[in-house]
Amino acid sequence: MGIRRYKIFDKDINDRKNKLLWVPILIRGIKDVFKKRFGKLLFSFSLLPLISFIVPLYITVRPELKYMLRRIKFLANDSSFFYAFFTNNLLIFILLILSIFTGAELISRDFKSNAIPLYFARPITKIDYIKGKLSIILLYLLSFSLIPGLLLIIFKLLFSGQLVSFHIFIASILYPIIVALFFSSYTLLISSLSNNEKFVKIAIFFIYLLSDIVFRIIHNIIKNSYIGLISIRVNIKNFASAVFGTQSNFNFSGWYSGAFLVLLTGIFIYILYKRIDRVSN
């Protein structure tokens, strides 16, 4: 009976270790990103959205500055405030740049050095490999979107003594996670398409930009709001309007945009898995 109990205990330990096989990939990726040139400068720049929204948040609790509330429309309520924070063009641009900076070479470099077979020579699965690479980008994206959003909630409590509603709290967690997952899967998929890191970086930025340009051109011709699903930027902002309960600038539900982002994330990860499977065999 004692021997059997030890076997079960050993099996539990091994199962836990197997579930964490992607962690070394994450740790190695974090170290590599910190070694990059201009990393500290980029991370410092990425704090600007948080800093720029702490100031107007402070204005709302200062009686002598109440006159400024009329000029800053997003200070009207918590929904518009957090919507404005998560969808401001600077933050979205920073998330795109962080994706390129932290993830553009994650898979293309492995393809270039033929390191993929070496990964799977160890007890690691393709899912573990993808989880490890995905978590590297996610860590940095969430550090400058999810965490600043939660910090704004804390600052609001400190400044005004009032908590945000449960709806805003959940939205401030759900929205940045889905957007970060999209950007991470999008970045890794493009990274798997070429061994040329410069090409990958340009492609990640260009496809994002092109999606918006194509949307504007077609929308001017067809005048159909659903054309907005073509644009990554439009989907991100429209989804936020549904999550935070603000009025959308587009004539279709923000939940369609959210579902589309989730669908694309799943498709990107599936194609990525197939790419890695083909290279590893």
Helical spans, DSSP H, in 121-253: 126-143, 146-160, 166-191, 197-222, 232-244
Q: Please report how the helices 78-87 and 166-191 are oriented relative to each other, as an axis angle in degrees rounded to 10.
A: 10
The pLDDT, as a whole number, for residue 188 is: 96
The pLDDT, as a whole number, for residue 55 is: 82
Cβ–Cβ under 8 Å, residues 239 and 178: yes
Q: Is 242 helix (H, G, I), strand (E, B) or coil?
A: helix
How many helices, marked H, and strands, marked E, lie in the chain?
Answer: 14, 0
The pLDDT, as a whole number, for residue 69 is: 57
The pLDDT, as a whole number, for residue 47 is: 93
The pLDDT, as a whole number, for residue 6 is: 42
The pLDDT, as a whole number, for residue 12 is: 44
pLDDT tens for the chain, residues 1 to 281: 445 544 444 444 454 455 678 898 899 998 889 888 888 899 999 999 999 888 887 776 665 555 555 556 666 688 888 999 999 999 999 999 999 999 999 999 988 888 887 777 777 888 999 999 999 999 999 999 999 999 999 998 888 788 889 999 999 999 999 999 999 999 999 999 988 999 999 999 999 999 999 999 998 888 788 888 999 999 999 999 999 999 888 888 999 999 999 999 999 999 999 998 887 77
